[in-house]
Structure 1
Amino acid sequence: MKLRICSKSSNGTIIVSIFIFSFISLRILGIDIFIKTFAFLSHKSAQIGSSNEQPKRQITQPLCSGFNSNSEKCQNVKFYESLTVLLVSEQPIFTGCVNKNDPEMQKIRSTIVLKFDPIDCALFCVGRNFPRMNIGSGGKHSTCFCSDDLPSSKSKCGKESVSKNKFKSYKLSPLTIPSLKNDSFLGCLPSKNQLKFDDGTSIKALKGLKKLDYETCLEVCDSLKHSIAVLSKKKEKQTSDCECMSSLRKSITKIKESDNPKECKHRAYVTPWALSKCSHAGFLDPGQTLVPQVGLITVPGAGNTWTRSAVQSATGILSGSVYKARVAFGRNLYGELESWKSNRTTLIKNHDTGARSSAFTDKMDKIVLVIRSPLKSAIAEFNRRSKSKEDSFSSVESFKRRASKHHFFAKLFRNLLRHFFRLATRYNKIKKPVLFISYEDMTDNLLPNLLRISKFLNLGSENEEVLERSVCTILSDSRIKQSTKRTYKVDLTKAARSLIDKKQAIGLTRRIGRIFQKYRRHEMRTEEYLSMIEG
């Protein structure tokens, strides 16, 4: 009988031989604990020995996902159902068609991007806080057109009247997730009828008890592994009922935000069990073919670490990195020290610098590129280089003294902006699927952008586990930010602006904006970024 373990070094062969000899000797003595240890180490040895040359996997593309969803059939499949499940409180309302060349369209806030399917379009529009999405023909790909509301007289036409300049228009009703107060209080339920679900996910735990407080109700629902505890007060009988709701996502849509529990007849609290749903993540099976290898590309300081933490929380899949930074590992990014070639992690951090950047891109199936204001990115990166991860400058004067020395900040900003230009040029032209995400979009409205990334990872637009974890992530966002984002003591924007070459920065930022306008794969916040530079 021959035992074969992949190993590329003679040292590895010697180690394996020693284990085999020890295994035979100890097996005779009946020491079973060593057998288990040997089996574990043999598995790890085989895994490590083969991690450098993993065969290229053929990713199974879900039906009607991402860039494969251009047909009319794919645009309609589960369209309303997916959107209702995802992030809207009611089905999108079709209101007719709009013409983007209409003079009235020039008077309202709008944006247009190509190569989006209907679900992507809805997520993008809601992520940018637009109340309406419009879908039209864009050649090989659908065109996504987000806008503010139009006069009703300007949106009447037949459902089939879609041409190059006409778009099917839908009214969106975005889901609003209440913020967490006092660690557990969410808000009020308007009526007790809101507790009823067809799938039986609501149960009555305690009924008609006097002096029933929310801590007791919360503890009972938590022990039953339910997500929401609802305490209902009956003033006339001076008693209370406690009911538990299982589904976090379904419950959250029914809760009205409130700062004062005493205002509510039916008070809703989130259980510790619900918040634990997104607190753990694991490695992928290297042989799986659903979740692709995705590279997460940013310039330094553009929010890479926070993005990884949020997506890892929402998906339950560990994020990787090419840098193997122990500081990141200590912040629950446990895929940081794993080889990025092992196929056991995804959303792998890389700033795309150096000679090996092409090899990394070739290995990846898809790319996520996070975009942030160049000035804010430079401030964040300057703080990281000058201070520890947790610390920041205590005053504007101390920042300017350090930043102006040898033109340190001006050089850093110039290099980051040039790097941003190279990334924008390269990844707009690349043939691989690329998802462009604005850091500012995520900080303004995290849920739809988490779902865009999850969908890009082939996890499905109606994946119930991802939806539950995504809502959990929103409620836990303060915890994620505390572990990954720096807290600034003073606003450094004005001081940083005074140290840079504004004319050069404005010119290059406009060039980057024109690249995105040309390829229409993302709408960069060009004017916002320019206003930060101009002041």
Structure 2
Amino acid sequence: MKLSIFLSLAGYGSQAQERCGKIQFGKPSQFAPVSLSSFPGSGNTWARYLIEEYTGYYTGSVYHDGKLYRGGFKGEKEEWREGRVVITKTHTFRPEYDPLTDAVILIRNPYDCFLSEFNRITSGSDHTGKASNADFMDAKWVERDFSKLASRWLRLYTNLLKSGNDILPIIYEEMKADPKMEMKKIVKFLDVHTDYESKYDCLFGDNSLRFKRSSYREYDPYLYIDQERLKPVNKAIMELSALLNSTHGIELPITYQRDLF
């Protein structure tokens, strides 16, 4: 499988490189039904790339995204209940509908999540696309219901943390800063053993960074928003941080909070 195929579809063009190693499916029922749960815009695609390269096994999804499948995520259309994918992407938690209960939960600053998802939607569901300044000045951004978004963000992780299932919280910003450490946690949680150390130089170099949408821009889209409408987001951050502290002894980075004026 050529990494260049995915990168070309994702808009990386000539920067494409090959995969760091062979990716394969497991045997039927080899893997337990574990989810990679996250709010949209949390870096799930990049995390899946790291997990696939690190473990050597395909990840799955409940969404069957054709673009990701064509781009190289061959587990995207796999029936995850067969147990051949090492972990399965989902953005919801509905244990009454499926057995994806144990989970690696990927948590990212909600302000960045909302921004990333807006980029994706505005750029035509491109997992690496970006909205323009004009898009952020439009009512579709300026008048977004951030209170509702914050409530959904908080509810997803709260339900997972209070579910009584085995949960591994992964902070996106910590994974970005030290991907090796976070991948070791995930591999241990999934109980997968592969020769991943031989991939270090390739996996944690510039290669993996090309699977992330660039967050750099010369302006702050949130300054176009009435700051009063962002207070529920700060409140949701504090509530989730307190819950994480009580359940796993960790807290969200203080940088999640915005100074509102």
- Band the TM-score falls in, shorter-chain normalisation: 0.7 to 0.9
Could you give the per-residue CA deviations for residues 57-78 of structure 1, whole angstroms, max 9, x where no partner exists?
xxxxxxxxxxxxxxxxxxxxxx
Equivalent residue number for residue 169 of structure 2: 436
Tell me the distance in 1 between the aligned counterparts of 2:192 and 2:129: 37
Residue in 1 that maps onto 2:199? 469
Structure 1 pair 467–507 and aligned structure 2 pair: CA distance change class (3 A):
same
C-alpha contact (below 8 Å) 2:150/2:232 kept by paired residues: no
Matched with 1:528 is 255
User: Residue type matched to 1:510 in 2?
Assistant: M
Aligned to 2:130: 392
After TM superposition, the structure 1 = structure 2 runs for residues 44-123 of structure 1, keeping only pairs within 5 Å, are none
Go from structure 1 to structure 2 and tell me whether the alpha carbon gap of 1:366 and 1:486 turns closer, same or farther (over 3 Å shift).
Answer: same
Inter-CA distance 513–293: structure 2 relative to 1 (3 Å threshold): same
- TM-score, normalization: structure 1? 0.42
Secondary structure at the aligned position of 2:60 is classed as strand
The alpha-carbon deviation at position 507 of structure 1 amounts to 2.2
**RMSD, matched Cα:** 2.5
Aligned positions of 1:103-502 closer than 5 A: 278-288=20-30, 291-352=31-92, 357-359=94-96, 363-364=99-100, 366-388=102-124, 389=126, 390-394=128-132, 396=133, 398-402=134-138, 404-405=139-140, 407-408=142-143, 410-411=144-145, 413-460=146-193, 465-475=195-205, 478-482=206-210, 484-488=211-215, 490-492=217-219, 494-499=220-225, 501-502=229-230
Once the two structures are superposed, what CA deviation does each residue of 1:470-517 show, in whole Å capped at 9, x if it has no partner?
A: 443113xx33332x322356245x222441513222222212222122
**For the Cα contact (< 8 Å) 1:447–1:471, is it kept in 2?**
no
Q: Is this contact kept in 1: 2:136–2:142, CA < 8 A?
A: no
Residue 339 of structure 1: how far off its partner (Å): 1.5
Contact 1:300 1:381 (8 Å CA) reproduced: yes
CA displacement 1:238-293 (0-9 Å, x = unmatched): xxxxxxxxxxxxxxxxxxxxxxxxxxxxxxxxxxxxx96733311110143xx432
Aligned counterparts of 2:63 and 2:72: Cα–Cα separation in 1: 15
Instruction: Decide whether aligned partners of structure 1 residues 472 and 515 sit closer, same or farther in structure 2, where only a CA change above 3 A counts.
Output: same
Alpha-carbon shift at residue 295 of structure 1 (Å)? 0.2
Q: Pick from 514, 518, 521 the counterpart of residue 242 of structure 2.
A: 514
Separation in structure 2 between the aligned mates of residue 456 and residue 427 of structure 1, nearest angstrom: 16
1:421/1:512 contact within 8 Å kept: yes
> What residue identity is the alignment partner of 1:309?
Y
Q: Give the secondary-structure state (helix, strand or coil) at the position aligned to 1:393.
A: coil
CA contact (8 A) 1:295 1:366 kept: yes
One-letter identity of the residue aligned with 1:534? L
Q: Distance in 2 between matches of 1:518 and 1:488?
A: 31
Compute the displacement of 1:450 (Å). 1.1
Q: Which has the higher contact order (CA 8 A, sep 6+)?
A: 2
**Partners of 2:95 and 2:101 within 8 A in 1:** no
Secondary structure, counterpart of 2:95 in structure 1 = helix
Checking the alignment, whether the CA contact within 8 Å between 2:118 and 2:131 is kept in structure 1 is no
**Structure 1: tracts of 5 or more residues without a match:** 1-182, 184-274
Equivalent pair of 2:135/2:141 in contact (CA under 8 Å) = no
Deviation at 1:530, TM superposition (A): 0.5
1:491 and 1:345 mapped to 2: Cα distance?
A: 40
Report the residue type matching 2:203 in the other structure. Answer: T
Cα displacement (A) at 1:363: 1.7
Task: Determine which structure has the larger strand proportion and give its number.
Answer: 1
Instruction: Indicate if the aligned counterparts of 1:369 and 1:437 stay in contact, CA closer than 8 A.
Output: yes
Query: What is the one-letter code of the residue matched to 1:472?
Result: C
TM-score in terms of structure 2 length: 0.82
Q: What is the CA–CA distance in structure 2 between the aligned matches of 1:305 and 1:503, rounded to whole Å? A: 29
TM-fit CA distance, 1:432: 1.6
Structure number with larger C-alpha Rg:
1
Distance 1:534 1:346, change over 3 A: farther
Match of 1:438, as an amino acid? I
SS of the equivalent of 2:105 reads: strand
**Contact kept? 1:318, 1:346, Cα under 8 Å:** yes
SS at match of 1:436: strand
Correspondent of 2:231 among 495, 498, 503: 503
Closer/same/farther in 2, CA of residues 359 and 285 from structure 1, 3 Å limit: farther
- Aligned pair count reads 242
After TM superposition, the runs of 4+ consecutive aligned structure 1 residues lying more than 6 A away are: none
Amino acid at match of 1:427: L
